[in-house]
Chain A
């Protein structure tokens, strides 16, 4: 197997006059959870569907598990597990019947085991149409997983789920990594990216702005660490001395912004030793996105 399970080079897809993705290039390493992050309409689903062989690219190259997406479609489909966006399946079949159907299609026999692994056992005999959003997602992941494929594509698996179902799905996805699966995830939830991903690519208007590990992205684009402390016990002097920028929104408090995480860490230790009243706000993917896209993503995935 190739070191890069997915290799994309200058991939473009036009729908008439509209360019959905414009010369994107990235690669996904074996065994990692890779997230493609962006607002609605950025080109996430188009990209993932090209890699799943559901769409023909206008130009560019891509290999999935070493197979050319244009020439070896069936080989790719046999080795990937897919959970499409707005996942749906035969709604009057039970959860178990749907997972068994997927197993039969992939000619695999581990349906029962997967049903247990993805937590479908307790509602396996319920019809798909009667399941909650979280349950449906479990069935969808089960149907992708039953292929026993090394690479799974999960296209916005938690969109529309309530917070608890979302966390349960995250737990399931983390479990996939433990099963040595490579997961290609698309999402517009920054929290999800931070929680699950090893690496991420930020896509905006069909163009991938950056691809890197989550920690590197935050470090490079997150805008530093914010340390807020009470103006007492020498905290004010310490923050003003070490930070890159100071703001005072309250007469009793001040906030220092640290671009250098190491410097921030040392300052924090010193403040703790002085027993100062301190709070820390670490930059995350939200800030990264704000920096790269000039706006934040709403719950619905729109750029605000």
Chain B
């Protein structure tokens, strides 16, 4: 026992005096916990920047033209006579300007950045320009976007060319997202809404006619009203829906989130335009049974498990192969120390490190992030089993591989993929399904799942299977460790 204790003490001291060892085993996981929990798991919801350019401005009356000018209303370039008439009213139209028909009696002139709307009356042609105010509906739509907790709305000036704006300024990074509300948004939305409302009324009346029995007088009355509705429906304008243009950059990881949020606002807006105030289906969100895992709740057991694993597989492998290379192990083998002394001293060292690491991480999680951790004997037992299991893997690798660099390489090659694939750093649900299948054959997956069940969810029964899996894994590798550790002819 004295031999074992002395060797254990020596291993611990030698390890603690290694700056790089302490950094990678304690400070590095602490840093990761701070970074992951702060960046990915803060209490505040994440907002994504969306630039909005609202081009739907209220039209402003400018002047009227004599009815004689009606003959110059035609698609194509603006007639010279018409341009001269505008000139007289102090509005210069360039020869490149174009005119197009937009409705029965409405036309528009587009002259570079300027726009004129022309409305035929019985006696004159009224000319409108765009004012400074945005339309009520487009403003409400923007407010709807702003109300979502997901989007941080930044207003873009109307004279900005969005594409050039983003290309010129690289500081936007991935937040090069813009939603452009086109001119005519309100008008089109109102027209479309009226068209749809009329269709709904027609449809409703058709259904009433089909479903209800009416006497002769009622039927006559109903048919008369139905015909009246049809007449009004025929008089209702039909046209395109109002459109908004959503621009996202290629490779933008959160583009689907932005699109989803915008669609949500658009749907809500459509319903309101149809006069729907109440929802037929309400989604109520509440957690059932188990505690929801917020950032640090998730990362704490994940990082503890991951670094107990790396300390075992990378740390122990590297240390043992280095002791073999520099002759320290030979020095120990030449003494009355036994192979069991050596293996158990390493396991004990890793167990102590695992407990210390857990203590430091839990303290940090509780103090800095307010994580509710439930320290208990189950947790200590599971950490012990995990430390033994992963340390045994390290002893096996260190025993099998003679070359230090190769041993370190092998440790890294096993530990790093396991660390990233097991879901210790991010929820498995975010990974493709085939990767999730891979994760479920990795021991680290069961280790961090078990720790989460015990330490955070306070559900030791949920850790039974992970505990059994890690225990079996540990026993297998402990047996292998005793087999491959050479105490002679090394």
Interface positions of A (Cβ within 8 A of B): 52-56, 74, 77-78, 80, 82, 84-93, 97, 101-102, 104-107, 127, 143, 147, 153
Contact across chains for A84 and B330 when beta carbons are under 8 A apart: yes
- Which single residue of chain B is at the shortest CB-CB distance from A103? B6
Contact across chains for A88 and B326 when beta carbons are under 8 A apart: yes
Contact across chains for B7 and A91 when beta carbons are under 8 A apart: no
Asked if B58 is at the interface of the complex by the 8 Å CB criterion, the answer is no
Contact across chains for B334 and A89 when beta carbons are under 8 A apart: no
- Which single residue of chain B is at the shortest CB-CB distance from A73? B488
Contact across chains for A93 and B13 when beta carbons are under 8 A apart: yes
Asked if B417 is at the interface of the complex by the 8 Å CB criterion, the answer is no
Q: With A54-B488, A90-B328, A105-B3 known to touch, is A97 a contact of B334 (CB < 8 Å)?
A: no
Q: Which residues of A contact B7 (CB under 8 A)?
A: 101, 105
CB distance from A247 to the nearest CB of B (A): 48
CB distance from B264 to the nearest CB of A (A): 60
Residue of A74, A91, A153 touching B336 (CB-CB under 8 A): A74
Chosen A-B contacts, 18 in total, with CB atoms closer than 8 Å, are A53-B334, A77-B335, A77-B336, A80-B334, A82-B331, A82-B334, A84-B334, A86-B326, A90-B14, A92-B13, A93-B10, A101-B9, A104-B3, A104-B5, A105-B3, A105-B6, A106-B335, A107-B3
Q: Which residues of B contact A52 (CB under 8 A)?
A: 334
Residue of A54, A93, A147 touching B333 (CB-CB under 8 A): A54
Give 8 nearest A-B pairs by CB, closest first: A104-B6, A92-B17, A82-B334, A88-B327, A90-B14, A88-B326, A77-B336, A92-B14
Asked if B213 is at the interface of the complex by the 8 Å CB criterion, the answer is no
Contact across chains for B14 and A93 when beta carbons are under 8 A apart: yes
Asked if B114 is at the interface of the complex by the 8 Å CB criterion, the answer is no
Instruction: For the complex, give the distance between the alpha carbons of A147 and B331 in Å.
Output: 13
Residue of A74, A84, A101, A127 touching B6 (CB-CB under 8 A): A101
Q: Which residues of A contact B6 (CB under 8 A)?
A: 101, 104-105
Instruction: For the complex, give the distance between the alpha carbons of A101 and B4 in Å.
Output: 11
Q: With A52-B334, A82-B335 known to touch, is A90 a contact of B326 (CB < 8 Å)?
A: no
CB distance from A127 to the nearest CB of B (A): 7
Interface positions of B (Cβ within 8 A of A): 2-3, 5-7, 9-11, 13-14, 17-18, 326-328, 330-338, 488-490
Contact across chains for A54 and B336 when beta carbons are under 8 A apart: no
- Which single residue of chain B is at the shortest CB-CB distance from A98? B10
Contact across chains for B331 and A88 when beta carbons are under 8 A apart: yes
- Which single residue of chain A is at the shortest CB-CB distance from B11? A90
Q: Which residues of A contact B11 (CB under 8 A)?
A: 90
Contact across chains for B10 and A97 when beta carbons are under 8 A apart: yes
Contact across chains for B327 and A86 when beta carbons are under 8 A apart: yes
Most buried by B among A77, A90, A104, A143: A90
CB distance from B301 to the nearest CB of A (A): 31
Contact across chains for A127 and B17 when beta carbons are under 8 A apart: yes
Q: Which residues of B contact A85 (CB under 8 A)?
A: 327
Q: Which residues of B contact A93 (CB under 8 A)?
A: 10, 13-14, 17
Instruction: For the complex, give the distance between the alpha carbons of A107 and B4 in Å.
Output: 11
Q: With A77-B336, A84-B334 known to touch, is A55 a contact of B488 (CB < 8 Å)?
A: yes
Q: Which residues of A contact B17 (CB under 8 A)?
A: 92-93, 127
Q: Which residues of B contact A127 (CB under 8 A)?
A: 17
Instruction: For the complex, give the distance between the alpha carbons of A153 and B334 in Å.
Output: 10
Instruction: For the complex, give the distance between the alpha carbons of A107 and B335 in Å.
Output: 11
Instruction: For the complex, give the distance between the alpha carbons of A78 and B7 in Å.
Output: 16
Instruction: For the complex, give the distance between the alpha carbons of A182 and B488 in Å.
Output: 24
Instruction: For the complex, give the distance between the alpha carbons of A31 and B327 in Å.
Output: 28
Q: Which residues of A contact B10 (CB under 8 A)?
A: 90, 93, 97, 101
Residue of A53, A102, A107 touching B2 (CB-CB under 8 A): A107
CB distance from A78 to the nearest CB of B (A): 5
Q: With A55-B488, A56-B488, A56-B489 known to touch, is A105 a contact of B334 (CB < 8 Å)?
A: no
Q: Which residues of A contact B333 (CB under 8 A)?
A: 54
- Which single residue of chain B is at the shortest CB-CB distance from A144? B334
Instruction: For the complex, give the distance between the alpha carbons of A53 and B337 in Å.
Output: 12
Contact across chains for B337 and A54 when beta carbons are under 8 A apart: no
Residue of A86, A92, A105 touching B335 (CB-CB under 8 A): A105
20 new A-B contacts at CB < 8 Å, known A92-B13, A107-B2: A53-B334, A53-B488, A54-B489, A55-B489, A74-B336, A77-B334, A84-B330, A84-B331, A85-B327, A86-B326, A86-B327, A88-B327, A90-B328, A91-B328, A93-B17, A101-B10, A105-B335, A105-B336, A106-B335, A143-B331
Instruction: For the complex, give the distance between the alpha carbons of A102 and B327 in Å.
Output: 15
Instruction: For the complex, give the distance between the alpha carbons of A55 and B332 in Å.
Output: 14
Q: Which residues of A contact B13 (CB under 8 A)?
A: 90, 92-93, 97
Instruction: For the complex, give the distance between the alpha carbons of A106 and B18 in Å.
Output: 27
Instruction: For the complex, give the distance between the alpha carbons of A93 and B13 in Å.
Output: 7
Q: With A104-B6, A105-B7 known to touch, is A88 a contact of B337 (CB < 8 Å)?
A: no
Instruction: For the complex, give the distance between the alpha carbons of A102 and B336 in Å.
Output: 10
Q: Which residues of B contact A147 (CB under 8 A)?
A: 335
- Which single residue of chain B is at the shortest CB-CB distance from A55? B489
CB distance from A129 to the nearest CB of B (A): 9
- Which single residue of chain B is at the shortest CB-CB distance from A52? B334
Instruction: For the complex, give the distance between the alpha carbons of A105 and B3 in Å.
Output: 5
Instruction: For the complex, give the distance between the alpha carbons of A179 and B18 in Å.
Output: 38
CB distance from B17 to the nearest CB of A (A): 4
- Which single residue of chain B is at the shortest CB-CB distance from A83? B331
- Which single residue of chain A is at the shortest CB-CB distance from B337? A105
Q: Which residues of B contact A89 (CB under 8 A)?
A: 328, 331
Contact across chains for B3 and A78 when beta carbons are under 8 A apart: no
CB distance from B95 to the nearest CB of A (A): 87
- Which single residue of chain A is at the shortest CB-CB distance from B17? A92
Contact across chains for A54 and B335 when beta carbons are under 8 A apart: no
CB distance from A179 to the nearest CB of B (A): 20
Q: Which residues of B contact A53 (CB under 8 A)?
A: 334, 488
Instruction: For the complex, give the distance between the alpha carbons of A121 and B488 in Å.
Output: 34
Instruction: For the complex, give the distance between the alpha carbons of A171 and B261 in Å.
Output: 85
Residue of A78, A88, A106, A107 touching B328 (CB-CB under 8 A): A88
- Which single residue of chain A is at the shortest CB-CB distance from B325? A88
Instruction: For the complex, give the distance between the alpha carbons of A82 and B6 in Å.
Output: 18
Q: With A90-B14, A91-B14, A93-B13 known to touch, is A78 a contact of B334 (CB < 8 Å)?
A: no
Instruction: For the complex, give the distance between the alpha carbons of A126 and B203 in Å.
Output: 95
Q: Which residues of A contact B332 (CB under 8 A)?
A: 105
